[in-house]
Amino acid sequence: MLRQLPHILKTAGLALGLLAMSTICSVPVAQERQEVTLDQALAISRELVSNGNFFEALEILEVLQPELPNNDSVQFLTGIAALNASHAEHLSLEEKRELLQLAIRNFHSMLARNPSLTRVRLELARSFFLNEQDILAKRHFETVLASDVHPNVAANIRRFLNVIEARRRWTTHFGFALAPDTNVNSVPEDRAIFISLFPGAPPLRFEGEPTKSGVGIKVWGGGEYNFPIGERTRLRVGTSLSRTEYPSHEFDSTSIEAYAGPKWRIGNSSDFSLLASVRRQISGGGTSYSYAGIRTEWSRRMSDKLSLSSNFSYYHKAATGSSAKGPTKSISLTANYFIRPTMRLALTVGEADERQLGSLRNSYKQPNADLSFTYATPLGVTMSIGANYSKTNYKGPWIQFTPEDVPRKDETVEYRASIFRPGYTMAGFSPRLEYVYSRRESNAQGGDFKRKRVEFSFVRQF
């Protein structure tokens, strides 16, 4: 038995719209009170949208929303009507923004329940684009491109992406997390180290206890502005800050960076940046390091499903209150591949190289690799798993710690898994739970450790 929706006519304008539709939908119209079924009201809304009567459709859909919560048809029609109504010339900028936010909320709700809805994702990307939320628009446009869409649709998306690159000025990021750690000071599992104080002396036993961090708080953020200095050239100026704090403050850390430099657009699918950068890292124990140097960033979309990026950095590192200093450099190459629009694979390979002048013990090379897989499930839950491997080859012996004074070698493996629901948002942020397990094996005493940590963070997914 069909439910009925009383008092659906809210304005005289809407009444006229229903009167015009009554012959199509066989809905009897009364002057003061209208009794129609939900199915009939939905059909009227769909016809109004098809005929370009977006505001009239929105008035019906506003009443249908509480009657049919999380209904795909109601939410899609609401999103389409609001998106198209935002083009009306008589609207103020604030009114246009309100309509676009209405469209975004409805498309976002649908995608949170079913991430495989390509048409909905495309309309969400358009809504973000018109609302000038270019970072989010770009993310969803690129996901749609991986869906094997019609060539004409793909061409239109590429035009949107080119406009985004041409007009983008400000970019910002922010996040925070709660992060307990079971072994924040990386004490080895056997907790014992044997050291001979001088040749021929019996080794002495030293023990350490793993330190549980308590619940740490991590906050990070930053911003960047792109000054146009040519048709395909921008001047990037930006800064970033991260802070981790624990109850004891012994393992607190702060990192600050500022950078500036040109960015060139190469063709329609590549970017290259050359940046001068200064960084400062401060630990709770009082040690701080300063970095000054350059870094480069390159990215290229190889196809609708595959993109590549590369980073290179070269810094001069100096420790405050110490003579320790020297060059440090790193290079990496990352490939991102969409297996399907809801499945993404990422692989990064690289190497870090640090030299401390006058100390082979603290100079090393570290090849590393990282692999991750992300899946937006049909249940509205996004899951991610990943692994990281690194091998640190020190250039000198760790006397009394390594056997026969051979150079130290470490192998570190990290496994991580995370889960979050994009449908639950607070001010545009979704909560995410991540578990990380790390293990290091070393030929140096005290170099082995195992640690587990959990991070409860808030991320901007949509």
What is the full per-residue pLDDT of the chain (462 aa) written as tens digits? 234 444 444 443 444 444 444 434 444 444 444 566 888 888 999 999 999 999 999 999 998 888 888 899 999 999 999 999 999 989 899 999 999 999 999 998 898 888 888 999 999 999 999 998 888 898 899 889 888 888 899 999 989 988 888 887 888 888 888 766 655 555 455 444 444 444 444 444 445 555 555 677 888 889 999 998 888 899 999 999 998 887 777 778 899 999 999 999 998 889 999 999 999 998 876 778 899 999 999 999 998 899 999 999 999 998 886 777 899 999 999 999 999 888 999 999 999 999 988 787 788 999 999 999 999 888 778 899 999 999 999 888 777 677 777 888 899 999 999 998 766 666 667 788 899 999 999 888 777 888 888 888 876 644
Residue 284 and residue 348 in one domain: yes
Residue 103 and residue 185 in one domain: no
Instruction: Quickly tell me which residue has 């995370």 as its tokens.
Output: 418
Residue 60 and residue 202 in one domain: no
Q: Cβ of 176: how many Cβ atoms within 10 Å? A: 16
**Structural domain tally of the chain?**
2
Are the C-beta atoms of residues 286 and 274 closer than 8 Å to each other?
no
Residue 86 and residue 189 in one domain: no
Residue 73 and residue 222 in one domain: no
Residue 92 and residue 192 in one domain: no
CATH number of the domain at 91, please: 1.25.40.10
Give the per-residue pLDDT at 414. Answer: 96
3-state secondary structure of 47: helix
Token couple for 211 = 């330190």
Residue 128 and residue 201 in one domain: no
CA distances from 245 to 242, 254, 418 (A): 10, 9, 22
CATH number of the domain at 315, please: 2.40.160.60
Are the C-beta atoms of residues 401 and 446 closer than 8 Å to each other?
yes
3-state secondary structure of 199: coil
Q: What is the 3-state secondary structure (H, E, C) of 285-336?
A: CCCEEEEEEEEEEEEEECCCCEEEEEEEEEEEEEECCCCCEEEEEEEEEEEE
Residue 156 and residue 205 in one domain: no
Distance CA 292, CA 300 (A): 27
Instruction: Quickly tell me which residue has 């750690």 as its tokens.
Output: 181
228: left (phi over 0), alpha (psi -120 to 50) or beta: beta
With the C-alpha atoms ordered 67, 70, 74, 80, is the resulting torsion angle positive or negative?
A: positive
Longest dimension (CA), the chain: 106
Distance CA 412, CA 351 (A): 14
CA distances from 272 to 124, 251, 309 (A): 29, 37, 10
Distance CA 345, CA 454 (A): 23
Domain carrying residue 346: 170-459
CA angle centred on 160, ends 155 and 166, rounded to 5°: 125
Last residue of one domain, picked from the residues 118, 137, 167 = 167
Positions of E strands within 145-232: 170-180, 192-195, 204-207, 215-228
Last residue of one domain, picked from the residues 139, 167, 195 = 167
Residue 218 and residue 339 in one domain: yes
Q: Nearest to residue 14, comparing CAs of 51, 50, 46, 44? A: 44
3-state secondary structure of 33: coil
Give the per-residue pLDDT at 35. Answer: 61
CA distances from 402 to 316, 405, 409 (A): 28, 5, 9
Distance CA 393, CA 158 (A): 45
E strand or H helix that includes residue 458: strand 449-459
Last residue of one domain, picked from the residues 119, 142, 167 = 167
Are the C-beta atoms of residues 134 and 128 closer than 8 Å to each other?
yes
Are the C-beta atoms of residues 99 and 80 closer than 8 Å to each other?
no
Residue 111 and residue 183 in one domain: no
- DSSP 3-state helix, strand, coil percentages of the chain (rounded to 5)? 25, 45, 30
3-state secondary structure of 356: strand
Backbone angles phi, psi at 378, to 5 degrees: -65, -15
Give the per-residue pLDDT at 23. Answer: 39
Give the per-residue pLDDT at 358. Answer: 77
DSSP string, 217-263: EEEEEEEEEEEE-SSSEEEEEEEEEEEEE-TTSTT-EEEEEEEEEEE
Which residues are paired to 330 by β-bridges? Answer: 313, 352
DSSP class of 336: E
Residue 139 and residue 181 in one domain: no
Residue 109 and residue 44 in one domain: yes
Token couple for 220 = 């990070």
Distance CA 432, CA 174 (A): 14
Q: Nearest to residue 325, comparing CAs of 358, 280, 351, 352? A: 358
Token couple for 412 = 């570190």
Give the per-residue pLDDT at 20. Answer: 45
